[in-house]
Structure 1
């Protein structure tokens, strides 16, 4: 903090791809072990203790940091690391396993980022709640705040974190995001339409990066898009998400 639906890992490439589960998900890029990048996404649900003082945020920061399931990845995308104290504690607990880390999206705009893009503001009551930690060096870190949200999301710096990660002698580009929530407080604004525009912002960013065709791009996080009963429906928001991102579902 400054002052839900389906969680997932989308793996895209400029060979572009996605993976979903309830709270965390994993994807692997490439079948060659030397080129494989194991990526996990995890919504840790660390809402501000100012609003939810009895939800065990600090205790969970310690439990997650010590848990076996979060170890032995190459990259972990964290969502909803909103509470400042608990998120700092979690990132500290993960430092030994994942020494290369970004700051939390939208919490500040200093030298911890190579660039801050989009609609960043220093005044919203909530940050973007996304961070990426990596076993491998991070050559570039960019935070991007979406142009618009609706409902309470409009009072946050939601967007995405971009990282350029170097494993051995190859680069992989990993984006962590948390899209617009489904919320009755959006009024006449459709949350799905907001998510579509946010996905377009991600795709535009990728295009403008001019990433080489032989380097993978992975997108992960809490997409707030329902996969259930949608995989074979070409008109579903789930299918539209992949079309917008020019992505395909990865194997996992």
Structure 2
């Protein structure tokens, strides 16, 4: 009797299994139709200080020309650039990239006549983009006091799916006082941009050089907490955005190896279905002694958005 029923049992299992597989496959296809293709974001401190502050050997003009070629070839959807202080280098980049990026804002906090320079924050997009707000930080010490460092917030329309993007560059160095200043600057982002302009159904990307070491757990966690943001691991083999041995513009050798640059997310309504982060190293010989294009490596993010 048991042997007689066994073939029937097998047939039943196979039918049920095939049905379940078909249902799961259909669900997977349905899920894929509800999620966008990945959009590509690049955040990069490009080391284009005012030329009066840079030695000739650092070659901002030559680097700008090489950088324009690289960015043109890469054709990201959005560029969030820091330290884009210098007008002439921006002009070189803009001239080469304007066909790819018809939308741009920044540098934030620029004034026509001033002893101080702008914030260096410049955002370019191939998708429609509108300016939301920009802020200038209340605190700055050392060389940072000669810039109007702050943050720039925009809204990018990715095929009908809006995303808020904030670009920033926080206080550099300054020892223990710098930790407190950076915390207060992040607090300004929270109070003057996120609390005022963010919307629950629009995800936020916070991009930039935050000058907070990833391995400084106390201040790193405080930063994420005050921003209400999330971070994630780099999926690239290379794990650092500053490296004194690997970057010929950085200096400091093995003692200067760290992560300072991030792309954080805030997503209250699960509109950002997936994000992948990578450190991107761009190198091309532009002088006898240098092939690195900036003293920081870039951070790339791929984002998948909900279509609902």
* TM-score interval, normalised by the smaller of the two chains: 0.7 to 0.9
After the TM superposition, which of the residue ranges 217-226 and 64-73 deviates more from structure 2? 64-73
- Normalising by structure 1, we get a TM-score of 0.73
* Partners of 2:60 and 2:174 in 1: CA distance: 24
Q: Does residue 1:167 correspond to 2:169, yes or no?
A: no
Q: What's the counterpart of residue 133 of structure 2?
A: 142
Task: Give the CA deviation at 1:212.
Answer: 2.7
Q: What's the counterpart of residue 23 of structure 1?
A: none
How many residues were matched structurally? Answer: 200
Structure with more contact order per residue of length (Cα contacts < 8 Å, sep ≥ 6): 1
Could you say what secondary structure the match of 2:80 adopts?
strand
Q: CA deviation digits over 1:155-193, x for unaligned, max 9? A: 210001111111111211000000001136xxxx70110
- Counterparts of 1:23-38 in structure 2 under 5 Å? 34=36, 36-38=38-40
State the 4+ residue runs in structure 1 displaced beyond 3 angstroms.
Answer: none
Pair member with larger Rg:
2
Q: Answer yes or no: is the 8 Å Cα contact 2:72–2:100 preserved in 1.
A: no
Unpaired segments ≥5 residues, structure 1: 1-30, 110-121
* Partners of 1:124 and 1:191 in 2: CA distance: 23
Unpaired segments ≥5 residues, structure 2: 1-31, 233-274, 277-308
1:224 to 186, 201, 211: 211
Q: Answer yes or no: is the 8 Å Cα contact 2:154–2:164 preserved in 1.
A: yes
Task: Give the CA deviation at 1:237.
Answer: 1.0
* Partners of 2:70 and 2:150 in 1: CA distance: 28
- Normalising by structure 2, we get a TM-score of 0.60
Q: CA deviation digits over 1:102-125, x for unaligned, max 9? A: 12122238xxxxxxxxxxxx5342
Q: Does residue 1:208 correspond to 2:235, yes or no?
A: no
Q: Answer yes or no: is the 8 Å Cα contact 1:64–1:70 preserved in 2.
A: no
- Counterparts of 1:105-120 in structure 2 under 5 Å? 105-108=108-111
Could you say what secondary structure the match of 2:220 adopts?
helix
2:226 to 230, 233, 244: 244
* Partners of 1:56 and 1:199 in 2: CA distance: 32
* Partners of 2:130 and 2:159 in 1: CA distance: 12
Q: What's the counterpart of residue 67 of structure 2?
A: 64
Residues 141 and 93 (structure 1), Cα distance of their counterparts in 2 relative to 1, 3 Å cut: farther
2:79 to 69, 76, 90: 76
Task: Give the CA deviation at 1:65.
Answer: 0.9
C-alpha root-mean-square deviation of aligned residues, in Å?
A: 2.2
Q: What's the counterpart of residue 52 of structure 1?
A: 54
Q: What's the counterpart of residue 16 of structure 1?
A: none
1:158 to 120, 124, 149: 149
2:91 to 80, 88, 105: 88
* Partners of 1:239 and 1:246 in 2: CA distance: 10
Q: Answer yes or no: is the 8 Å Cα contact 2:170–2:211 preserved in 1.
A: yes
